[in-house]
Amino acid sequence: MILGLLSHENMTGYEIKKRMDGSLIFLGGASYGSIYPTLNDLVKRGMATKKNSDENKRNKQIYSITDAGKEYLKQWLNFPVEKDELRYETLLKIFFGNSAGPLQAIEHIDAFQKKIENGLSTLLVMEKNLLHHLQEDSTHEYYLLTCRFGVKTYLAYLEWCEEARNYLSEHDQEEK
Amino acid sequence: MILGLLSHENMTGYEIKKRMDGSLIFLGGASYGSIYPTLNDLVKRGMATKKNSDENKRNKQIYSITDAGKEYLKQWLNFPVEKDELRYETLLKIFFGNSAGPLQAIEHIDAFQKKIENGLSTLLVMEKNLLHHLQEDSTHEYYLLTCRFGVKTYLAYLEWCEEARNYLSEHDQEEK
DNA sequence: CTTACCATGTAAGGCGTTACATGATTCA
DNA sequence: TGAATCATGTAACGCCTTACATGGTAAG
* Tens digits of residue pLDDT in B146-155: 999 999 999 9
Rounded CA-CA distance B23/B44 in Å is 29
**pTM as predicted:** 0.94
Q: In this prediction, what percent of chain B has a pLDDT beyond 70?
A: 95
Strand C atom within 7 Å of A31 CB: yes
Average pLDDT of chain B, as a whole number:
94
Kindly tell me the sign of the dihedral angle through the C-alpha atoms of B124, B129, B133, B139: negative
Confidence of residue B53 (pLDDT cuts 50, 70, 90): confident
Q: Is A47 helix (H, G, I), strand (E, B) or coil?
A: coil
List, in sequence order, every residue forming a beta bridge with B11; answer none if it has no partner. B63
Helix (H) / strand (E) containing B9 = none
- B43-71: average pLDDT: 91
**What's the one-letter identity of residue B46?**
G
CA distance, residue B122 to nearest chain A CA (Å): 17
Strands (E), B17-83: 48-53, 60-65
Are B84 and A112 a contacting pair at CB < 8 A? yes
Report pLDDT digits (tens) over A19-66. 999 999 999 999 999 999 999 999 999 999 999 987 666 789 999 999
Specify the pLDDT at position A39: 98
Is-contact A41 A54, C-beta < 8 A? no
pLDDT at B175 over 60: no
Rounded CA-CA distance B124/A139 in Å is 37
Produce one character per residue of A70-79: b if its CB has 16 or more CB atoms within 10 Å, e if not.
eebbbebbee
Of A88, A97, A145, the CB nearest to B77: A97
Residues 95-154 of A with CB under 8 A from B: 95-100, 104-105, 108, 111-112, 115, 138-139, 141-143, 145-146, 148-149, 152-153
C-alpha count within 13 angstroms, C-beta hemisphere, residue A130: 19
Specify the pLDDT at position A53: 83
CA distance from start to end of chain B: 51
- A3-27: average pLDDT: 96
- A154-172: average pLDDT: 94
Average pLDDT of chain A, as a whole number:
94
Q: Is A87 helix (H, G, I), strand (E, B) or coil?
A: strand
